[in-house]
Amino acid sequence: MIGDKKIVDNREICKSFNNFFVNIGQSLAKNIELYPGKDSSSFFRIGSVNSIDLNPVKKNEIMYIVSEFRNEHSCGYDDVNMVIVKQSI
């Protein structure tokens, strides 16, 4: 049902779902005013739009992540065997 209209055609149902999900964020955002009188851009630091902050990565974090990969002898798109990666670490 869309309003009072019952939709039965499969294409129309798909279009209706798509339309709903494409527009729901914008529709909800119109009704939310967390900080009256303030635009969301006022919360950004100067220059943050064109920059990215990266946190340093620790050696043990990388070792843990790689250790969780499966021991497969097949290579990925980079032609590097995971067993060799693990042995190298």
5 SS3 class: strand
pLDDT, tens digit (0-9, with 9 covering 90-100), for 26-70: 888 877 777 777 766 666 666 555 667 778 889 999 999 888 888
For 87, the token pair is: 């042995």
pTM, 2 dp = 0.36
Q: Among 6-10, 12-16, 43-47, 81-85, where is mean pLDDT lowest?
A: 43-47
Kindly tell me if the per-residue pLDDT of 13 is higher than 80. Answer: yes
How much is the pLDDT for 41?
67
Domain spans in the chain, listed from the N-terminal domain onward: 10-41+53-88
Taking each continuous run of H as one helix and of E as one strand, the counts in the chain are: 3, 0
Report yes or no: 49 and 43 within 8 Å, Cβ to Cβ: no
Q: How far is it, in rounded angstroms, from Cα 14 to Cα 2?
A: 12
Q: How far is it, in rounded angstroms, from Cα 89 to Cα 60?
A: 10
Rg (CA), the chain: 25
